[in-house]
Amino acid sequence: MAQVAIEPKAAKDEGKTEASVEKISGGHLVAKALKAEGIDVIFTLCGGHIIDIYDGCLDEGIKIIDVRHEQVAAHAADGYARMTGKPGCAVVTAGPGTTDAVTGVANALRAESPFLLIGGQSALSQHMMGGLQNLPHVDMMRPITKFASQVQTTERIPDMISMAFRECYHGAPGPSFLEIPRDVLDTKVDVTKVRFPQAGHYRASTRSLGDPDDIQKLADILVKSQRPCVLLGTQVATCKAYDAAKEFVRKLNIPAYMNGAGRGTLPPGDPHHLHRTRSYAFEKADVIVIVGTPFDFRMGYGKRLRAETVVQIDMDYRTVGKNRDVSLGIVGDVGMILKSVTAAATGRSDNGAKKRQAWIDELHAAEKKAYEKLEPEFRSESTPINPYRVAWELNEFLTEDTIYIGDGGDVVTITAQAVQPRSPGHWMDPGPLGTLGVGVPFAMAAKFAHPKKEVLCYFGDGAFSLTGWDFETCVRFNLPFLGVVGNNSAMNQIRCGQIMKYGKERGNVGNMLGDVPYGEFAKMLGGHGEEVRDPKQIRPALDRARAAVAGGKPALVNIWVDIDVWAPGTKNQTMYK
């Protein structure tokens, strides 16, 4: 049964004296400051330290979605930021409430996702007395946030909240943390003594163009190049630079690869969209342009880039040239930079576009060969079900409006061989921290942000088990999404590495899970659930799940997949190299 939303209280100050009306509590100041920032929902798990914030949110009309674990609250706030382009907010209590949220904060930092975590704290009057759930939260959060501070007076709450949100956008985005002690939240102060920063007046524009001379240099490089390629990363989504990226690759005739939230920038079938030949292109290209992606493990720390000329475009100065020298680095808003480079190159001997067509044709021929090699697995009729078949079925099932979320290890890695979102902003994954358990909270946030879109999340069974209880939260708040579990009863990505390193007799230690019928679990929590063991039944089950979601029920299709099929990257252990 869907939870009935509590309506904001009506004119509760009616009948009070003028002097009392001027008093406002810390929790209500929090809500007013969040409302000024554009926050329309907080994700939370209740605790005595933070309840005055709830009271304020009711008055400000801010939706309160209460979850079953604080990690879910943090992941959902992260997911909300990714889906909307606005900052998210999670509110948790002190001590274990805040420590439970640490993983979600750390994941957002590595994924460059802006949200504010507000944590409770015991009263300032109990400082160093051993108050309930007292911990040095700020010290713990400082290494994994862009800003972390305690709020020490009630009057400063709006000012500190505006400061925290502003710091979220310093360089590449990321999370901030504020600790607010219980007595600071409960105290009522004279509203005339409070500074309320005005929305839109406490942040500068971050849409920097970079050095104009470097824009011209990159245009010169690309006009002369015969075999360039570009990788469009997460910051294309961060900067909402989809149109600029499309114009860049189409006008200059440059093949494009996408990773992270950059997936979907170009639709499947676009002549400049390449999918399976990135390694081939990186090996043979004369110019590689990396947009909004650091040289981390996903890029072999830059070692996989063999071109003579490597250009890096990023929002954060600290990222450019880290782990690998670059021929040219440009810092700024990636959309503004791509648009400016396109303009600088346009009209110069056809932008060098014609001479690059042979290179694009070569890459498409290689793409075709790569697909033909995988096609037997995509069409496999074997049982247990080949996880490549699941990946192929999911891709065939997607619509223009399906937001796709991946949450898992090897089975989700396999989907990267097949699944291509149809539209920009329709892909979500954990990001470079590799955190499992983001799926349900991301789905929750995506459905809240886009109630008319279909939200499909593909889980490994190990990943789903980490935060799966919040499937019930989606039932309770009428946030129906379609979940699919690739179930091999194992943490199979790690199992593969163990077998390779220690032999099969020791390969199943510490990574095997029970045979859990998650379809039945979904039914128990009030959703739609199915079990699938025949590959021919995948699509019919997905169709029935889609119908259930359209009727308002979250759905979970549990597909039993072959435990002995792995992705190439898993078999090669590339994540560790």
pLDDT for 492-550, tens place per residue? 999 999 999 999 889 999 999 999 999 999 999 999 999 999 999 999 999 999 999 99
| Rounded Cα gap, residues 283 and 280, in angstroms | 5
Q: Which residues of the chain have pLDDT under 50?
A: 1-8, 10-16
User: What three-state secondary structure class fits 122?
Assistant: coil
In angstroms, the CA 206 to CA 342 distance is 20
Residue 108 host element (H or E): helix 102-111
Is the pTM higher than 0.85? The answer reads: yes
At 366-385, the pLDDT tens digits run 999 999 999 999 999 999 99
**How many CB atoms neighbour CB 356 within 10 A?**
21
Q: Is 304 left (phi over 0), alpha (psi -120 to 50) or beta?
A: alpha
> Do both 65 and 144 map to the same domain?
yes
Task: Report the Cα 97 to chain-centroid distance in Å.
Answer: 22
387 and 362 co-located in one domain:
no
455 vs 445: CA distance, rounded Å: 10
Amino acid at 404: Y
3-state secondary structure of 313: strand
Of 334, 366, 398, which closes a domain?
366
Token readout for 71 is 């990690």
Give the number of domains in the chain: 3
Return the ∠ at Cα 212 (arms to 210 and 214), rounded to 5°.
Answer: 80
Domain boundary among 319, 334, 366: 366
For residues 384 and 514, state if they share a domain: yes
pLDDT score at 91? 97
Does residue 35 sit in the same domain as residue 146?
A: yes
Q: Verify that 466 and 540 share a domain, yes or no.
A: yes
Claim to verify: residue 332 and residue 383 sit in the same structural domain: no
Does residue 8 fall inside a structural domain? no
The predicted structure's pLDDT at residue 164: 96
Same domain, 44 and 188: yes
List the beta bridge partners of residue 179: 119, 150
pLDDT score recorded for residue 350: 65
Token pair 């890695």: residue = 413
What are the residues whose beta carbons fall under 8 Å from the beta carbon of 421, sequence distance 6 or more?
A: 263, 264, 398, 402, 403, 404, 427
Together in a domain, 324 and 392: no
| In-domain check, residue 202 | no
Cβ-based neighbours of 418, under 8 Å, separated by 6 or more: 374, 378, 388, 391, 392, 394, 395
Q: Do 404 and 458 sit in the same domain of this protein?
A: yes
* Residue 349 belongs to some domain of the structure: yes
Q: Name residue 461's beta-bridge partners.
A: none
For 45-195, list the strands marked E by DSSP: 63-66, 88-92, 115-121, 147-150, 176-181, 188-190
pLDDT of residue 385: 97
Q: Is residue 9 part of a domain?
A: no
Which tokens hold the place of 56? 């304020």
7 is a domain residue: no
Residue 266 sits in a domain whose CATH number is 3.40.50.1220
Element at 559 (helix H, strand E): strand 555-560
Q: Name the residue among 266, 250, 255, 251 with its Cα closest to residue 227.
A: 255
Which of 327, 343, 366 finishes a domain?
366
- Rounded Cα distance between 372 and 354, Å, is 28
CATH code where residue 101 lies: 3.40.50.970
The answer on 440 and 541 residing in a single domain is yes
Query: In whole angstroms, what is the distance from residue 42 CA to residue 102 CA?
Result: 17
Task: Name the residue type at position 423.
Answer: S
Pairing of strands 188-190, 23-25: antiparallel
Tell me the C-alpha distance between 70 and 454, whole Å.
Answer: 25
**3-class DSSP string for 127-142:** CCCCCCCCCCHHHHHH
Contact of 92 with 72, CB cutoff 8 Å: no
Residue 410 and residue 314 share a domain:
no
What is the C-alpha to C-alpha distance for residues 166 and 33, in angstroms, rounded to an integer? Answer: 13
Say yes or no: 153 and 217 in one domain.
no
Encoded amino acid at 368, one letter:
K
- For residue 110, tell me if it sits in a domain: yes
Residue range of the domain that includes 523:
379-576
